[in-house]
């Protein structure tokens, strides 16, 4: 019985339809993450303006790097998957 299940799972996973669905799901998650990362930039900017410390610019830089990384990942996912 486990062999049958394994074989069925293998067939489903290696089918093109399944991989297309997974690719779409991955892209959707990455797009949502990119939107979230862009919101974080605005949020950090608002936080750093309201409460200014010596390390506020570091947070702003991390937020920008995170957003750039998220956008690069979308491009990579489209190209590689």
* Positions that interact with another protein (CB under 8 A): 2, 5-6, 9-10, 13-14, 19, 22-23, 26, 29-30, 33, 36, 39-40, 42-44, 46-47, 49-55, 59, 62-63, 66, 70, 73, 77, 80-81
At 67, list the tokens.
């957003």
Min dist. Cβ of residue 72 to another protein (A): 11
Closest CA to 26 of 66, 70, 67, 74: 74
- Shortest Å, Cβ 19 to another protein: 7
> In this complex, which beta carbon is closest to another protein, that of residue 68 or of residue 81?
81
Q: Which of 17, 26, 37 is nearest to 75 (CA)?
A: 26
Per the structure block, which two tokens stand in for 6? Answer: 């394994």
Is residue 26 within 8 Å of residue 78, measured between CB atoms?
Answer: no
Instruction: Select 39 or 68, whichever has its Cβ closest to another protein.
Output: 39
């Amino acid at each position: 019985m486990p062999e049958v299940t394994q074989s069925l799972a293998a067939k489903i996973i290696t089918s093109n339809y399944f991989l297309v669905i997974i690719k779409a799901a991955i892209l959707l998650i990455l797009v949502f993450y990119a939107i979230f990362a862009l919101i974080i930039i605005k949020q950090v900017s608002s936080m750093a303006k309201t409460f200014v410390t010596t390390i506020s610019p570091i947070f702003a830089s991390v937020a920008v790097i995170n957003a750039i990384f998220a956008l690069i990942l979308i491009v990579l996912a489209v190209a590689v998957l």
